[in-house]
Amino acid sequence: MNLDYLTNLNESQEEAVLHLNGPLLIVAGAGSGKTRVLTARIAHIVKQHKAFPNQVLAVTFTNKAAKEMQLRVSKFLRKEATGLPWLGTFHSISAKILRKHAEAAGLKSNFSIIDQDDQVRLIKNICKSEDIDTKKISPKYILAVIDKWKNKGFYPEEVVLKRKDILEKSFLGIYKIYQQKLIDLNAADFSDLILHTVKIFEKHSDISKMYSKKFKYILVDEYQDTNFIQSEWLKYLAEHNQNICCVGDDDQSIYSWRGAEIKNFLQFENVYENTKIIRLEKNYRSTQNILNVASNIIENNQNRVGKKLFTDQEDGELVTLNCFRNVKDEATEIGSNIEDFKNKFSFNEVAILVRAIFQTREFEERFLKIGVPYRIIGGIKFYERAEVKDCVAYLKTVFQPQDDLAFERILNVPKRSIGDTTVKAINDFAKLNKFSLEIASKHLIEQNKIKPKTKLGLNSLLNLLAKWRNDLNKKMNHNKLLQTILDESGYSEMLKNKKDLENENRLENIKELLNAMKEFDNLESFLEHVALATSLDQDWQSEKVNLMTIHASKGLEFDVVFLPGWEEGLFPHQKSIEEKGESGLEEERRLAYVAITRAKKLAKISFSMNRFYQGDWIDSMASRFVDELPDEYIRKNNNFIDEKEEDFEFNQDIDFDSDTEIRSPGWIRYQKKLK
């Protein structure tokens, strides 16, 4: 019999493919070839006639991963591969089961699956009928809470509010109405697909037994990312044959904010008796020095199955640790490094991984200045982010009253009861009389052609614009001007009051914009800079450096990886530690592990001793993860060592340019440590 699927497998990989009896947990380290093992295992099951293809359940998290697995298996099975009907995502397989048993969930078999836009629209309608202000509480935020309950396996009547939370109590009321509406519409959302299926299994043992007998073998990819309801789903389906094989890496569990529960992975052998654990520790991606650094950091976590990565590749270069006086120095040095690499590495093979998206700004500014093309993976370029564009539009309107595009953008942001009909009327009047939109607005108010409520909002904006121009004429600092605009326009209040999943990022981006403005002498020069930055053609066909968050980098790999901003409070992120304590810290450490293991040849960690934050210079401290880096595999920079070592009283007004000889207390502490 042809066993070509076993060709070039290492010893552990082959063991994982051939072990077919009972529960199996494959602890697959980064770059250890887990996808190849999964596909070879499916091929082996079918080729050895252990099960027919339609008796094999293979579950992935994304359609892309499912298609890739289908393609790979096809190469081994050829004609037989067409008979793999149960290879797909949790949601697609659940939908398939639910279609056959829809009535048990109160639905008809032809139920529709609604997308997020439809969900938001439905929640908005419910909020309107319940007198809930969607300006303050985003429908997407409400949906996230409902989704959290569904991931925990709760129908509305099963939710128990642990604390007297008025907000959650109101959300529960919305959840009840929302779920009934879905039933009335003969519809299900994505989370329902799994929840309904589990509830059917729970209430109808005959149905669950039928499927658990049907699937002789179950294979699950990225098991560390499963949530509670997905793990329950798997328990029901594996109940009869117990031949469940889960593949993943507990050290790469970084999605708890999406509902993933690492305990599913850690407690696998407690849930499934007689579990066999096989570790895939041979890495085919990174040099040994990179693996040693990653392993050393992650070993500080207590809650893990444990493994030690190794490679047959050369040791490679030491991982570098660079300390910089400020963020600008950090971006300048990294930019220079990338330019130096351009004859050795493709830009496409270079990545900068940040903990928070606002960190990209400094690098974008530098790359635009030196002409290095770049792309933002999984995000939007800094000056193209909606909240940044809103702020810039306000400043443009104040500085240049003729800028109709800017005026129209801010007209109803925040909400001022200025609807599309009014905007059209202003535009038509302006066009007819060759006025700017602002002048046209004034004339329409004077002529009483604006409804009273709308007139109130429009008049308020016009008065504020006049006041801000007066502030500017009186030489108000442009940075202070934007803060004033944000406060007096209600924009700050809108962001602070709005419960929204993305709100924290928006606030951070605005803070970073204020930081950026500090670098310019006046408003005119700043606006000119923004115009040039946004007009530069960055859609070149050439290669580009990759900028992204660490979360967005999972599953990717690059020759060279830069890891800036390893500072306490930023990485590990203070919010994560405050909200989740030790478990939050361990997840942040897993993020560090993921970040380092994206690198194939070079990994460069850095931190800044001074960060400009919310209008002030702050004395940053190196991340605790820096202390966990093993000295024997690290090369530290020794730049800027100052002979004067005494501490000084920190002055936040000091301009930390690249030539200053003044050092912050944090900088001095680090230099003493080096010596």
Active site residues: 34-35, 221-222, 252, 598
- Integer Cα distance of 263 and 26 in angstroms: 15
Beta-carbon contacts of 389 under 8 Å, excluding residues fewer than 6 positions away, are 383, 409
Q: What strand order describes the sheet that includes 374-376? A: 374-376, 545-549, 350-354, 558-563, 599-608, 319-324, 634-636
Secondary structure class of 100 (helix, strand, coil): helix
Question: In Å, how far from its chain's centre is CA 143?
Answer: 18
23 cis-preceded (ω within 30 degrees of 0): no
Instruction: Please compute, for residue 339, the number of CA atoms within 13 A of its CA located in the half-sphere on the CB side.
Output: 13
Q: Where are the beta strands (DSSP E) in 281-432?
A: 319-324, 350-354, 374-376
Q: Sort strands 616-619 and 610-613 into parallel, antiparallel or unpaired.
A: antiparallel
Of residues 327, 290, 325, the one with CA closest to residue 311: 290
What is Dmax (Cα atoms) for the chain? 89
Pairing type for strands 244-248 and 24-28 reads parallel
Contacts of 160 (CB under 8 A, 6+ apart): none
Q: How far is CA 110 from CA 97, 107, 113, 192, 193, in A?
A: 13, 8, 10, 15, 13
Per DSSP, the three-state class of 183 is helix
Angle between helices 452-473 and 478-489 (to 10 degrees): 160
Query: Among residues 412, 409, 410, 402, which one has the least CA distance to residue 437?
Result: 402
